Structure 1
């Protein structure tokens, strides 16, 4: 496992306060039809998670506008496990620079030890388009979520994060206690960020959706989030209705549960 490489183009965040979000490079960049080792000078096409990284940056910029010495900021780590792309590290860094992405570190790890890299980099949230990767990380106590191409890739001026209320009111369904604890820690940090902005014109929107039960279930989930310091901008009680259509309307960048969140309808 290679150590994480700091991005000299980006200002480094406070290690004690920053919320480290790791995203797989293949979720951020697509091959664009040219993925040969010799093609180091060509930048990658943007992928599913590109709008997500832009939304994270907007939150950081607004936090610093509100408080120039703010240290509770998102710190993005781009992680690469694909061997071919690891040989193209200069192309990954060049693509990041080309698109103006504020990536703090680049991490090149083998598939068998990428979780160790997440732990060493103090990752608070791991995002991937690969279900197996996200599930493996969650089982090892790293809070993880699956990126869905139809929703995560939709450009938005807001970072839109959806909480699964059903998992919140039934926390024992998560894969490991460590993962649930990591989820609660991330939620608390997210809530603190949200409190930095007013009700209107916020670059961060937190949405709650409960699929099962009635208003009582939704109320229970709201109270659980408030106990962690998380205020919700929107709440929806589906009472057993399929959530696919609602997700297509809400278009969250990703969905969180207390264990392993996905975006299936």
Structure 2
């Protein structure tokens, strides 16, 4: 199992210099990955939030080995052509270390859809997500992208330069029991279940995906939480999670410097 740090860029972590230093410390301590949340706004008491993409670029330039990425970016509230440019650029800057977490996004915790005039219908956001993933996959190939869908248009554009990786790994996020995201996850390189309550939920999801060959399954657990049941259920990555509404920088730094649990 690989181990990653997973941080919301809120309040004390909204300073990108703090996140870059933590990433360097994580690399030195033996962590395998460093992933950040992608949010525009969060409920109180959170007051500050940093841009994940600019922060990840700084982390990419300041590290050499860590796998990095947004975990997860809500593609339906982003323009896929811009994400194609951002992901290829970040993958090249990091030397091929980008993993892209994707999901529908939601309105529950910070009103990120209603407050910014975004699409709130889950079904339509699912369509937008699938279209955006088709565009990204085509863009990364280096061939001309010709897409005319219900939500996006790309009219014969070639996106160069291409990423370092032949295909940037995509991890699809989903809440437990959601069947359509599991079918979507089976088409890509990984699965990131949100808010798991017990390992049996993970085992059921992994069985439903049925991906052949190497496949990443990431779970988020609090520091010190026993990962053995999740490892047995199919997890390949353990992301160490922290309370987003009570972020203690000293505690986070101590966990990071102690290195990953085994």
The interval holding the TM-score normalised by the smaller chain is: under 0.3
Q: TM-score, normalised by structure 2?
A: 0.27
Q: TM-score, normalised by structure 1?
A: 0.27
